[in-house]
A and B are shown apart, each in its own frame.
Chain A
């Protein structure tokens, strides 16, 4: 359905109040036309789509890096790229896939759907949201432009010191990595705050804590993990940058520093990062399943508690990345136990989904196929995860292709497959059109085959002793065959991703019209138009059960009186979601863009000279001043309905 009908000339019928509200909302919430509207928009849906498209572009670029690497490893002593370029390729690939694709795209999907699923008009802090996107974009460009200029980071995606320190990595390559981290972490933290506050304070009346959709729960848990994990890596990357720029000794063993400190800080962030990718994906599965098995997801409470438990336990396993650094045996045992323990909540979730499918009437459309693909792929990755959680085994395969196989099974199985499934599921909501189902199934088949053909042989290569991060290998080690199979798989994957893009582009232009709710699904986003208008809902919905749409009765209470002449959100109480106050949101503004440019100047300047703290800091301060300075009086009501300014 498109926008509500405008009043046409000759249309004699008097508009109803509902239609008048809708028309006024259109006026209040629309962006300026053209490019100016594009740069000034604060509409969370528009920004989220932009985020998702940007992440997919970065994903494709990272895929190109992977293809070049796989081509290089096709045969022994191959000369497609040299060792220096290869170092850049795998460093930028890993950094990009984690920081510029996996985490931000999950948060972006959350930024799109959390407000819609809780019945809000927009996120709680729309300008911050815009700032987050711009800062993310500059950080991503910094990484890719540096690789194009042959000065990409080359010390691995976890930038271990002393290799990444000033002595062994002179030049600016590692500084690019460190500042790119800071950019993307700021963006992630902003997204996290927005998701948390939107969920806690902007839920539709009736959506009590026990009725929050599982996907939204997953995003909230993720957001809290982002707060604790991403602020860690932002701090640690600054410590590394300072070691390199002003000669601090945090990681310099000669002056009392400790390289292992870096590993602790990195993996305190790095392991939760896996769950920051995985937990939203579990939410997507829980969001997608009901529509394709025609029943609510089984075990809501168990699913939510498992998600929260995973969030906590995710911070208790980081040392399992460091078994070969000589940690105490007691610590090794503890972290082995915790690493095995975290499989319990994950298993509970998987059993809940299996029960959901078992008790429902499954319909094997493309999103459902991706969920099944997730089960197979992620469980293989999970099993190898249990293997490497065991210290003696880990000692043998550490830094080999076995770990590369494991992490790709986990991240592609546990993250990318549910994500692509969710893309198909939500495609009609985003575009108002249906995707091509036949092409979708073919794309899934190629993706599933491609993943397994690419990554399964890497297990064998790892067990046969092939290390990670080597740009070539000699003949006669028995590594050629599995490498060639893996390379073929990589090209199958690439074809599959191209088909996904073709499906998205052609269906968005010429797919069958989808209507508002083509799946007859259960959550609130399907109660809006497809694509949703900037204000989301004409009147805030009222929620009567966990499956918001399936439990709705014709006599559901209706919220009226929410001002439509200003960008107003209804704020509800955190636990019971009772209407409590009104919060006016700002309109389109260019200040987030300006502030993001000031932030970019600060961070890039800081790669070269510490004076950036003063100079760049001053620019950021000016930008924030311009952002925050009040622009006009609003005679709005206060607590107790007294307007102090009118009284004065």
Chain B
């Protein structure tokens, strides 16, 4: 095993009496690819979720701020959003968490075949959701430049769509790495982090969906 080669040789024996007393902690056999919060990449993913979560909260706060100072919401009567495609996409977005969960499970078992399958399914569903997203924009029944309501809902949707695009691309790259058998051990934790990001995007969308599509009809 490589670790043995890196062990300190006999000439590394303590040189001075004081050094001889020192406790030596050998870290050469610690693992190099770990899952969850033990690894640094998990922290970066969490940090970026914090940044993007802040962005989404701000868009939502702006939406509510504009709504509070508006007598009618939406201002143009009869321009409530349609619910068909948004509801379908909500199901797709929630549903695609399942393959990512399974991919994450496979990654933790260090099972590249399972990762390959479920990452491919998840990524494909990601592209489907992006396709339906185009129809969701149609369902808004308002343009961004019509009034502040239109700007606010388009702003929220565009912000979430940018996150979706970057997420699908990341998933596609990870899936491609595994499909082309280019994977390295560090990519297994990446699968788990990618799945975590999926859940985050889905959870965010549940809230945004309620505000953008349900609330104009309900309140």
Contacts and interface: CB of A to CB of B under 8 A. Distances in A.
Interface of A: 14, 16-18, 124-125, 128, 189, 192-193, 196-197, 200-202, 205, 227-228, 231-232, 234-236, 239, 242-243, 246-250, 252, 255-258, 261, 264-265, 540, 542, 554-563, 565, 570-571, 573-574, 579-584, 617, 621, 624-625, 628-630, 633-645, 648
B218 interface: no
A639 B35 contact: yes
B151 to A, nearest CB: 4
Given A193-B47, A255-B147, A639-B33, A16 B15 contact: yes
B179 to A, nearest CB: 13
Nearest to B71: A256
B84 interface: no
Contacts of B184: 630, 633-634, 636, 645
8 contacts: A249-B151, A250-B152, A258-B69, A261-B65, A560-B27, A617-B165, A638-B31, A638-B33
A618 B152 CA distance: 26
Contacts of B59: 235
Contacts of B38: 571, 573, 580-581
Nearest to A253: B148
B185 A189 contact: no
Contacts of B207: none
A582 B186 CA distance: 11
Q: For the complex, would chain B's binding face be called helix, strand, loop or mixed by DSSP majority?
A: helix
B6 A239 contact: no
Contacts of A235: 55, 58-59, 159
Contacts of B144: 242, 246-248
A642 B145 contact: no
A641 B31 CA distance: 6
Contacts of B177: 629-630
A562 B28 contact: yes
A265 B58 contact: yes
A249 B32 contact: no
A257 B28 contact: no
B173 A256 contact: no
B40 A583 contact: yes
Given A196-B43, A235-B58, A248-B145, A638 B66 contact: no
Nearest to A258: B69
Given A227-B47, A621-B169, A644 B29 contact: no
B50 interface: yes
B79 interface: no
Nearest to B15: A16
A248 B51 CA distance: 24
Nearest to A640: B31
A350 to B, nearest CB: 31
Interface stretch (B16-24, B95-103, B193-201, B208-216): B16-24
Contacts of A644: 110, 112, 185, 188
A643 B33 CA distance: 10
Contacts of B7: 561
